Structure 1
Amino acid sequence: MFLCFHQLFFAQIRDAPNIKTVIFQSSNINNYSPIIQLGEKMMLSFDDLNANEQNYYYKISHCEIDWTPSKLIDSEYITGFSEDRIREFNNSFNTLLPYTNYELTIPNETTQIKISGNYILSILNDAREVVLQRRFIVYESQVTVAVGVYQSRDLKKIETHQSVQFTINKGNFIVNNPYQEIKTVLIQNNNWKTAIKDLKPQFFRNNQLLYLYDKETSYWAGNEFLYFDSKDIRSSTLNIARSEITRDIYDTYLYTNEERIDRPYTYAPDINGNFTIRTLDSDLPNIEADYTWVYFSLECLEDLSNKDVYVSGKFNNWALNESNKLQYNTKTGFFEGTILMKQGFYNYQYVTKDKNGVISNHDIDGSYFQTENDYTVIVYYKKFGSRYTKVIGMGTGNSKVILN
């Protein structure tokens, strides 16, 4: 179901069913984050499986820290137009499943962002229906942020959790009331479902604000992401058992995954839930990579009664819905599901959600303090009397070298 832009613009919405493979990130190589410095560029790419070269339009809106619309008018945060038609699109070539690929770069000739802050990018069709929506952040380097990842000091969590501590170095940036004017958001692996908000500085040292929390910034570390690579659509690989055509396009059957909750931790390099589109058959994967039905299966002996099981990752914007929900097969004893995915290298994980909406990344795969995770700290500033909230700094940390 589509949602009308003027009614539910700032609600969290599902992508339209014909919209697939949404890539929205910095244009910098190997930066999968939707966080850029003022003046840098972001890139959006998505496929329309209707393949009819439909007109799509983008709209950029400035938001407050809680993602509600700010009080600014368009001309206060945009030079040019905040809304325009996407002009760059191409039909797929030599693929079994036809699609139209759309690309957008921000800023561009008609749209330049003037100020920092939270933003929402919405893509609309000719009927003014929102077909996809993504958050992004533009920051200015007024302060620097040092981020460290530690084992939990709680003995009950020392083997399963990671705690994040950080320091904001203000330099010459003047803040009159840090408790009121400075706010921070901490996220794990660029997944907004993990956001920790409203942390206050605990200590002050010269021009530094210190956030030396343990319990309040504690995360389940989870386990390394699982992965598969379908760049060669016709062949089996390390994690792909077989590939065959049964319904006009290829079916890709992954080997059955087993629960890892009771196994020793094993380091396996990953890209922390991200994905990249690629194919061996072409140097133009955006329009020449094909789609395939990917079959997931999970053997799990844990008690998951009253919980739903999902396949999650950035490939579906970390959403948990019917399209990536697994069903229990009483004949095989496995949780099974099928997802239409473009050729490429994918990270994924199995997560659960109980009847109260509590999401867990450790019920199936366990949680180990050694797990490599990315952490991002975003620093917001709203001076007393100001009409909007700035983003004045951003810092990142990684648990590959975890501190004690």
Structure 2
Amino acid sequence: MRLLLTSLLMLSATLTYAADTSTRIFDQSMRSLRACLETDYYAPPVIELGGDDRVRVEFDDINSERRYMRYSLLHCDAAWQPSQIVESDYVDGFNQADVEDCEFSSGTFEQYVHYGISLPNQDMPILLSGNYLLKVYLEDNPDCVLLQQRFCVVEKRVGIGAAVSSRTDVDYNDSHQQISITINTANWSINNPYSDLRVVVSQNQRTDNEVMVTQPLRVSGNTIVFDHDRQLIFPGGNEFRRFEMVTTNYAGMGVERYTYSHPYHHAVLETDEPRAFESYSFDRTQYGRFTIRESNSYDSNTQADYMITHFSLAMPRLADGDVYVDGEFTQHRFANLNRMHYNVDTQCYELDLPLKQGAYNYQYLWLPNGMNVAQTAKIEGDHYQTVNEYMIRAYYRVPGERYDRLIGYGLIYSGH
């Protein structure tokens, strides 16, 4: 009876956890949050259940002293809502562990402590596939979450094939890209793909325009096909813009000049212009990601400095909405921190952000008032030729189970 009560209390705590399960930073002293694979710096944080690879989560705390932190995991369903299971179902042992991997900055104007967490590990073995939210909090205050990061664990039960076409159901070689998906279930039985299967597609790690499809076009034997679905049509967008501030000895790509005003270095980026009416131009990017790098250091994680980075976009003010700087370094969120402000004197949208030295991808997104999905068309333009990264995840809830398994995962690139 006592064990049952304990389990019910744990389940209740899970279900009443804040609805916001997005990757985000709560404590503004935390910066440069990113997640990848230990073996691939640019791979999305998706690992195989029982596999050899691990997710690596890193971040900085702008502080001269170490703060003692712990972390825990929350299992989520396909829609990133807390699963109706208890912690002992998905973690073998206690669902909390100390953040032990930390290093102090060296030779920088901005003092900080660099932290890292690799998952799974001996303190945090993972038992189930699915969506996970890593929560980091102070050792003496577990109710105050400092930051949280999404990652996924997949059990490869089905094969995923996909294609991207510019010949869409809404236009032909114009401004959109359409995804078609084929799921092979030869090695895994899905009783009712029309009710138990959910397929999620995201573009360049964005979550605002991520879609979930549940109704296949057809099912034939071991093949499930999702095609000619309006939800699987994405605006093409444009190649990400780029800048590099890897040294203060010279102005790198996209940087107009460096200045120093105690106690910070400042990186003034070249003023950007809208590209909505320009012809498409190819550029090789990292699909919105950023890389921490200081060219003269042997360990950029602790020797790269922070700079106040000045963005400016020269264009008339847009009514009925806001402009945001978007990229992995903003967690693809629409928050005050990355919302641009219009300067009537310079006729520019402007934003200042403290960023760590490195190479960055970014774009400008327009978010109309009252909407949750931002647009590329007004500023960046939409082109069918744009090379985008599409991540496809297939979830299945086995009849009788109370969580969504992630049974398939794949990446596909348009224009390839």
TM-score relative to the length of structure 2: 0.91
Match of 1:68 in 2: 81
Uncovered stretches (5+) of structure 2, i.e. residues with no partner: 1-12
Matches within 5 A, 1:343-354: 343-354=357-368
| Native 8 Å contact 1:146 1:396 kept in 2 | no
CA distance in 1: counterparts of 2:39 and 2:415, whole angstroms: 22
Match of 1:34 in 2: 45
CA distance in 1, matches of 2:197, 2:74: 22
TM-aligned CA deviation for residue 82 of structure 1: 1.9
| Superposed CA offset, 1:367-389 (max 9, x none) | 10000001111011112211221
Superposition pairs for residues 278-293 of structure 1, below 5 Å?
Answer: 278-293=293-308
Partners of 1:8 and 1:172 in 2: CA distance: 36
Correspondent of 1:355 among 357, 360, 369: 369
Matched, 1:337 2:351: yes
Cα separation, 1, equivalents of 2:302 and 2:65: 14
381 and 54 in structure 1: CA distance in 2 versus 1, 3 angstrom threshold:
same
Shift in Å, 1:28 = 2.5
Aligned to 1:20: 31
Which residue of 2 is the match for residue 272 of structure 1?
287
Deviation beyond 6 Å, 4+ runs, structure 1: 4-7
Taking the aligned partners of 1:32 and 1:294, their CA distance within structure 2 comes to 26
Whole-Å Cα distance in 2 between the matches of residues 307 and 76 of structure 1? 44
1:383 aligns to what?
398
Whole-Å separation in 1 of the counterparts to 2:328 and 2:81: 23
Give the letter for the 2:262 counterpart: R
- Give the secondary structure class of the aligned counterpart of 2:43: coil
Q: SS where residue 125 of structure 2 aligns?
A: strand
Alignment partners' CA distance in 1, 2:261 and 2:214: 53
Q: Distance in 1 between matches of 2:153 and 2:17?
A: 23
Give 1:15 deviation, angstroms. 2.8
Query: How is 1:41-190 mapped onto 2 (pairs within 5 angstroms)?
Result: 41-125=54-138, 126-128=140-142, 129-154=144-169, 156=171, 158-190=173-205
Q: 2:395–2:406: 8 Å Cα contact kept in structure 1?
A: yes
2:407 to 384, 392, 395: 392
Structure 1 SS opposite 2:88: helix
Q: CA deviation at 1:172?
A: 2.4
> Within the alignment, does 1:194 sit opposite 2:175 as a pair?
no
Is 1:319 aligned to 2:333, yes or no?
yes
CA contact (8 A) 2:313 2:348 kept: yes
Q: CA separation in 2, counterparts of 1:167 and 1:224?
A: 27
Shift of residue 68 of structure 1?
Answer: 2.1
- 3-state SS of paired residue (2:230): coil
Counterpart in the other structure of 2:20: 11
Task: State the identity %.
Answer: 29
**Which of 297, 308, 329 is the equivalent residue of 2:322?**
308
Q: CA deviation at 1:259?
A: 0.6
Rounded Cα–Cα distance in structure 2 between residues aligned with 1:236 and 1:206: 59
Contact kept, 8 Å, 1:291 with 1:342, in 2: the verdict is yes
State the match for 1:229 in structure 2.
244
Question: Cα RMSD (Å) of the superposition?
Answer: 1.8
Superposed CA deviations along residues 72-115 of structure 1, whole A, max 9, x for unmatched, are 22222112332111011111011000001111110112111111
Distance across 2 between alignment mates of 1:189 and 1:257 = 21
Q: Distance in 1 between matches of 2:141 and 2:48?
A: 33
Aligned AA (1:103): G
Q: Is the 8 A contact 1:5 1:130 kept in 2?
A: no
CA distance in 2 between partners of 1:249 and 1:338 (Å): 12
The one-letter amino acid of 1:23's match is R
Does the 8 Å contact 1:234/1:243 carry over to 2?
no
Provide the secondary structure at the position in 1 that maps to 2:208: strand
Task: Name which of structure 1's ranges 71-80 and 179-188 shifts more when overlaid on structure 2.
Answer: 71-80
Mapped partners of 1:73, 1:330: distance in 2: 54
- Tell me the amino acid that sits aligned with residue 343 of structure 1: Q
Structure 1 residues 85 and 219, CA gap change in structure 2 (3 angstroms): same
In 2, are the aligned partners of 1:152 and 1:218 still within 8 Å (CA)? no
In 1: Cα distance, 2:58 partner to 2:14 partner: 20
- The AA in structure 2 aligned to 1:11 is D
SS at match of 2:80: coil
Answer yes or no: is the 8 Å Cα contact 2:17–2:82 preserved in 1.
no
- Rounded to whole Å, the distance in 2 between the matches of 1:139 and 1:211 is 20
Give the deviation of 1:351 after TM superposition: 0.6
Aligned AA for 1:101?
Answer: H
Go from structure 1 to structure 2 and tell me whether the alpha carbon gap of 1:295 and 1:5 turns closer, same or farther (over 3 Å shift): farther
Question: Hey, what's the Cα distance between the residues in 2 that align with 1:76 and 1:360?
Answer: 40
Give a deviation string over 1:146-165, Cα, whole Å, max 9, x none.
11001143454641100100
2: CA distance, partners of 1:219 / 1:281? 41
Matches within 5 A, 1:245-256: 245-256=260-271
SS at match of 2:92: strand
Q: What number of residue pairs does the alignment pair up?
A: 397
